[in-house]
Chains A and B, each alone.
Chain A
Amino acid sequence: MSLRLVRIDDRLIHGQVVAGWLRALGAQRIVIVDDAAARDEFLREVLSLAAPSGVPVEVLDVAGGAARCIDLATSQEPVIVLARSPRTVLALRQAGVPIEVVDLGGLGAGPGRRRLHRTISVSSDELAELRELEQLGTRVEIRIVADDRPIALRSVDPAR
């Protein structure tokens, strides 16, 4: 078994996630893997306030998150795993977390960032990390809301 969906979104929990993705996946649990948030009690609390009642939010660092995700991948429980950056997801993958699909859900624009599609922009490092994920057998797709048709990274990758 592998995790059905890991979403990369620099906002972590927000409207598209709570109103769309939780329902689409039938998920009753949110796992956030983020070193900075895991260290910050205030941020952890704000993140847990963002989820609907009855949906627990776990905020873990990469090491703890990898162990938890490996656990969740073998269970049948539908969860949504959120990370802020491709680097975190690559670290999970390298730590042995089986991930079928990585969803690029939100990566903001900024200096030195190239726009791939609508609200998805990447730095050259992030693009390299996403390509590495694909080499490790994880599909990388852009899908901002659950109703979107997934767009393969390959089809928007400027190098191809």
Chain B
Amino acid sequence: MRTFRIVIAGHGTLPAALLSTTELICGPVADAAAVALEPTESPDHYAESLRDAIGHDGRRVLVLCDLLGGTPFNVASAIARRSPRVVCVSGASLAIAVEAALADGDLDDALVERLLEVGRSGIVETERHRARRAS
């Protein structure tokens, strides 16, 4: 059983869509939330929403962000720097979200490394991928 919470942080409708699409692939994802940054929302207001979604119960939380340097990431990484129980990953994709949703156990270093690897290895171009597979 996964012991940590998942929060998807991003711009506009992406977080909710990423969460619902993850559920399309792996079924209902328990203990997960999507927090959308709306176009006119201030970073401070977004930080409040994100903190609420992260929760105040001391449990570990994985925050998956859509864009390095975007406000959701900036706010999440500021929270993560101050709070060791929060891990902030940017470049979230369906592959990473599925891997996180299906994870078993704790949000430890090994899992974080695996999430990053799943994200990186999921980025291919067909021809180059084929050439590499064939060699």
The reply to whether A19 and B71 form a contact with Cβ atoms under 8 Å apart is no
Q: How large is the interface on B (under 10, 10 to 19, 20 to 34, 35 or more residues)?
A: 10 to 19
The reply to whether A119 and B40 form a contact with Cβ atoms under 8 Å apart is yes
A12 and chain B: residue at smallest CB distance = B74
The reply to whether A14 and B39 form a contact with Cβ atoms under 8 Å apart is no
Assuming the contacts A11-B43, A14-B74, asked whether A50 and B81 have C-beta atoms less than 8 A apart, the reply is: no
Q: Pick out which of these stretches binds chain B: A41-49, A69-77, A127-135.
A: A41-49
| Cβ contacts under 8 Å, A19 to chain B | 67, 69-70
The reply to whether A14 and B69 form a contact with Cβ atoms under 8 Å apart is yes
- Tell me, yes or no, whether B135 is within 8 Å of chain A by CB: no
Assuming the contacts A108-B42, A119-B40, asked whether A15 and B70 have C-beta atoms less than 8 A apart, the reply is: yes
Contact among A46, A49, A109 for B40, CB-based, below 8 A? A109
- Tell me, yes or no, whether B22 is within 8 Å of chain A by CB: no
The reply to whether B71 and A15 form a contact with Cβ atoms under 8 Å apart is yes
- Tell me, yes or no, whether A151 is within 8 Å of chain B by CB: no
Mask: chain A, 93-130; 1 = CB below 8 Å from B; 0 = not: 00000000000000011000000000100000000000
Mask: chain B, 63-91; 1 = CB below 8 Å from A; 0 = not: 00001111101100110011000000000
- Tell me, yes or no, whether A56 is within 8 Å of chain B by CB: no
Contact among A45, A46, A109, A119 for B39, CB-based, below 8 A? A119
The reply to whether B68 and A46 form a contact with Cβ atoms under 8 Å apart is no
A122 to B60, CA, bound (A): 40
Q: Which A residues have a C-beta under 8 Å from some C-beta of B?
A: 11, 13-15, 17-19, 42, 45-47, 49-52, 108-109, 119
16 contacting pairs across A/B (C-beta < 8 A) = A11-B43, A11-B71, A11-B74, A14-B43, A15-B67, A18-B68, A19-B69, A42-B81, A49-B77, A50-B68, A50-B73, A51-B69, A52-B68, A108-B42, A109-B40, A119-B40
